[in-house]
């Protein structure tokens, strides 16, 4: 008896998803890091809680964005691994 799944995850599609996610998050990381440094003078004109935005981004804001990147990566990779395991159990569980 064959099981046909519409969203089957193969090892090659798993690694394609992993590479795309990693590249997207690394691109976001680079853009945020570069943007905060490159536009520091422009960000200095904006105040947030009494501090220049460039100082806030350097001291706290960027760290929160980095944390969010790690959380997104962890959640998405956990989901992808579960899909891969379920696909493996369906094909080997017969």
What ranges do the domains of the chain cover?
11-92
Query: pTM for this one?
Result: 0.72
- Tens of pLDDT, residues 54-88: 887 777 888 999 999 999 999 999 999 998 888 87
Our CA dihedral for 61, 19, 23, 71, rounded to 10 degrees, sits at -10
- Tens of pLDDT, residues 24-55: 999 999 999 888 888 888 888 888 888 888 88
- DSSP-derived secondary structure letter, 52: E
């Amino acid at each position: 008896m064959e099981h046909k799944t519409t969203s089957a995850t193969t090892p090659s599609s798993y690694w394609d998803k992993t590479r795309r996610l990693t590249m997207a998050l690394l691109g976001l990381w680079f853009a945020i890091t570069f943007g905060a440094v490159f536009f520091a003078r422009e960000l200095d004109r904006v105040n947030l809680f009494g501090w220049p935005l460039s100082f806030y981004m350097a001291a706290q804001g960027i760290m929160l964005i980095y944390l969010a990147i790690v959380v997104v990566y962890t959640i998405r990779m956990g989901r992808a691994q579960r899909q891969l395991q379920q696909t493996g159990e369906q094909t080997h569980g017969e």
